[in-house]
Amino acid sequence: MRVADVMQTQLRTIRGTDTVGEAIALLAENHVSGVPVVDDHGRLAGVLSSSDILETLAEHAEPRARESIFDEMLVQEVMTPRPQTIAPDANVKDAAQRMLYLEVHRLFVEEEGRLVGVVSTTDLVRALSTIKV
């Protein structure tokens, strides 16, 4: 089974110049824990996950500082740069092994430098649940 067979292709993206508040709304509206950050040309620049947001909140102990994060801090200040990628023709087993080794919950799928999808641990579990043994 290939990554292309299980990946999600309906991606919501965000730009690094958007606010963390906008990103939180996007994550909540789409019921996802991470979103790809793209540059002005639509190329993958980073990933913003709920973990990134929580770590940033933890670093700001004062309530006033926390409030300003949502309205003033930009995604590019909080995101993880250079997210892990994989090709659509890669084997699902390879994707699973990479996620385990790298301790990540998702790999972004790129083809010829273009973001074409994302494969997450949930996608892998869903695919595994359909296999007849």
Per-residue model confidence (pLDDT) at position 18: 94
- pLDDT tens track for 37-73: 998 888 899 999 988 888 888 877 676 666 667 778 8
pLDDT for 114 beyond 80: yes
Burial of 71 (0-12, 13-18, 19+ CB in 10 A): exposed
- pLDDT tens track for 72-98: 889 999 999 989 999 999 999 999 999
Q: Work out the angle at residue 84's Cα, subtended by the Cα atoms of residues 22 and 91, and round it to the nearest 5 degrees.
A: 125
pTM of the model: 0.83
pLDDT for 120 beyond 70: yes
Distance (Å, rounded) from C-alpha 113 to C-alpha 125?
Answer: 27
- Give percent above pLDDT 70 in the chain: 91
CATH architecture designation of domain 3-129: Roll (3.10)
Ordered by start, the domain boundaries in the chain are: 3-129
